Structure 1
Amino acid sequence: MGSSEFVGYCSFTKAIEHLGDRWSLLIVRQLGTFGPQGFNELATGLPGRISRSVLADRLRRLETLGLVSRCAGPDPHPAYRLTEVGEGLTATLGSLRAWAETWLPDDPDMLDRDPDIVLGWLAQRADPDRAPERPVVVELRLHHRHDRRYWLVLQRGAAPYGCLTDPLLDVSRYVYLESSMPALLALARGRRDWADAFGDRSVTAAGDPELIGRVSAWFRPASDQPCAHRNA
């Protein structure tokens, strides 16, 4: 191995050593996509469950590495933002995401293991500008797991959010969906439209017929990607 190859290998090893855990790159991606965020925003916005102690540790590490710095937040607490060094990593993360979406299959057990990740994907596909004026709850069940339920709350002008417990809204505002796992993942990842899933009955619906008829309109078409808002 030549000396230049050895240097490249060492650089790669350092990157893996410092950033190869589950959370560091997710934090960078979150800040790169949504701009500066406070600690609580990061704690609730990251996909999956991260403890506050782990988040604090990862933020300290990213600050030490020069990828993240603190800035003034909307309240007395500081926010976190990407530095120029951190911004330089976002293109690499975009390439990694494109590679994963092309070559890595979805994990069929993901909804049981990390349901909030799939609900987060579904929330990103929802279009707040086309959601109902009054809140609607989309209740999800899988064909093979009738004992498990998940909820997505939609309302015009508000950020959609997923729930692992029933939000207990008025029952007239519920749409009950039953889906196969492949169909749900395809919808959540934006690879399939709701109309097609209803058409082949990989997704079935119950509830108010008027609300059922509008479900497809509440989500972006499969060809559309949610906008990524980045702050300089």
Structure 2
Amino acid sequence: MPIMFKNLRRLIVVGLGLSLLIPLVALSYSHLATAPFRVTTPTDAPPTRVAVVFGAGVRGDRPTRILAERIEGAVNLYHLGRVEKLLMTGDNSHATYDEVTVMARYAASLGVPMRDITLDYAGFSTYESCYRLQPIFGVEQAVLVSQRYHMPRAVYTCRALGVDAVGVGVPDWGRYAPPVLAQYTAREALATVKALLDVHVTRPRPTFLGPYEGIE
């Protein structure tokens, strides 16, 4: 085999190896770095004024199962007195798709007064949701609520952007089919690579900032 083709094959093998190794390293790093700031028991969450719930899809006027369980986790914190306000952050990029209004209505149906719910209509990604917490809503400290597979990235991103964040992970493995969680975890590894680049290298501005709103 010509030397050129041997070198090409080596390059391909090295490239494939790195494409697998880098996401795994990023995922492991985010888990280790955020371990002190993640809890799985609601009563272990520090008393904090605001809980942040990340959007995860809606079907019509109903949240997906994953999103419903995030909202239920935040509502539980509210009723336990661990938080005073809920901030729903998600996608309202066009008139026919409004995650955060669905999220708010679901939380209200579980007993949270609408006066204690704030909506972030421009939380198009975990990074954008975390970025907007301080300049738009004045949030310096927050409890983040999401599935456990997503929590290291969310906590790492928010803390890197200056928010004193602690994550309360709602159950995922054991509640969803293993192939589904394996797919989510693989996607999370790739998303974590991008998150590290976003917070440490590129620091892109979110799609929308807008005026300060605060949380009353």
Q: Same fold (TM over 0.5)?
A: no
Q: Select the structure of larger CA radius of gyration.
A: 1
User: How high is the TM-score relative to the length of structure 1?
Assistant: 0.26
User: How high is the TM-score relative to the length of structure 2?
Assistant: 0.27
